[in-house]
Amino acid sequence: MDPVHLSGLFPPRLLDRLRELAAIDTDRCVQDFADARHRALLADAEVLITGWGCPRLDDLAVTALPRLRTVLHAAGSVRGLIGDAFWDRGLLVSSAAAANALPVAEFTFAAIVFAAKDAFGARERYRATHHHQSPAETAGLGTYGRRVGVIGASRIGRRLLELLRPLDLDLSISDPYLDAGQAAGLGARLLELDELLATCDVITLHAPDLPETRHLLDRRRLALIPDGATFINTARGVLVDEQALTDELASGRINAVLDVTTAEPPLPDSPLYRLPNVFLTPHIAGSLGNELVRMGQTTLEELDRYRTGRPLIHQVRREDLARTA
């Protein structure tokens, strides 16, 4: 991984634990499998702990890591990380995506409450007019009975529903892999995507980036979103037709909270930076700062299970990648 992430993932207490669990040189962080300085180390390695900035495990890595049995990824998706040659070797793979899901769900929870109260719009108007809004001017706002639609019963989508359950919201979900009974178990009503878009006041996207989810929200579907509704995207920019979304936002018809965009950052002239009805953040919903430690902790727990012959809790199988992030 990029060594800048090491101290966040593994603060001293966890580094000590790592040294207890494995024969490891915690001062060495490999970023290039062709680097001759690491050849002997890699030739012996049975477990690889990876993170953001790890080069792809491709044919070169297969040659460099002949004894590798397990990859423990101290970050989210392993989609871009593990090449076919490694999957073919039957490698055991685990990821800390479940730990990374928690802060995204928390961020989205906050965005939903702010959207329901039009806090983003109120801030803009307050700055411009200094007008102190009275409760009489807030008809139609608020969280009570607010219709919230979640797209994707993913790790993040499920955690979000858990956080939202104590509120007086009206929750719906859309996911082609979910049935009505499972949705009810999550505290939500199962809807087809078009119906969810047409009937919710706040819509939040948590589906994975797959070939079939590219532009899942195309121009036709974005037009279904009711006037005044808020669209939240903490998933991936490519799931949305960004030009169509920008057109809807520029018309002022809907609002958006966007933590992800197609290009990150968006091009300098993108209206997304300037539109008053867009709350744009630089991909911060996932683990940052002190939240990284959860992913390090998860990785060490997996390492301990591997070491003692117990099944991994967060194993990723090659076939899972057809429907997961």
Binding site for ligand NAD (CB under 6 A): 76, 97, 100-101, 104, 151-156, 175-177, 206-209, 213, 216, 234-236, 259-260, 283, 285-286, 323-325
192 is catalytic: no
Q: List the catalytic residue out of 123, 125, 264, 317.
A: 264
* Minimal distance, residue 235 CB to ligand NAD, in Å: 3
* Minimal distance, residue 157 CB to ligand NAD, in Å: 6
Q: List the catalytic residue out of 17, 215, 283, 305.
A: 283
* Minimal distance, residue 27 CB to ligand NAD, in Å: 29
137 is catalytic: no
The backbone torsions φ and ψ at residue 40, rounded to the nearest 5 degrees and listed phi first, read -65, -40
Listing DSSP states for 148-174 in one string gives EEEE--SHHHHHHHHHHTTSS-EEEEE
Candidates 129, 111, 324, 105; CA nearest to 210 is: 324
283 is catalytic: yes
Which H helix or E strand runs over 42? helix 39-44
Point out the residue whose Cβ comes nearest to ligand NAD: 286
Nearer to ligand NAD, 318 or 323 (CB): 323
Placement of tokens 């018309």 in the chain: 251
Listing DSSP states for 184-218 in one string gives HHTTSEE--HHHHHHH-SEEEE-----GGGTTSB-
Nearer to ligand NAD, 8 or 152 (CB): 152
Question: Under a CB-based contact definition with an 8 Å cutoff, are residues 108 and 167 in contact?
Answer: no
* Minimal distance, residue 71 CB to ligand NAD, in Å: 17
Nearer to ligand NAD, 146 or 314 (CB): 314
Placement of tokens 């121009």 in the chain: 219
Q: List the catalytic residue out of 221, 236, 294, 314.
A: 236
Q: Provide the annotated active-site residues.
A: 236, 264, 283
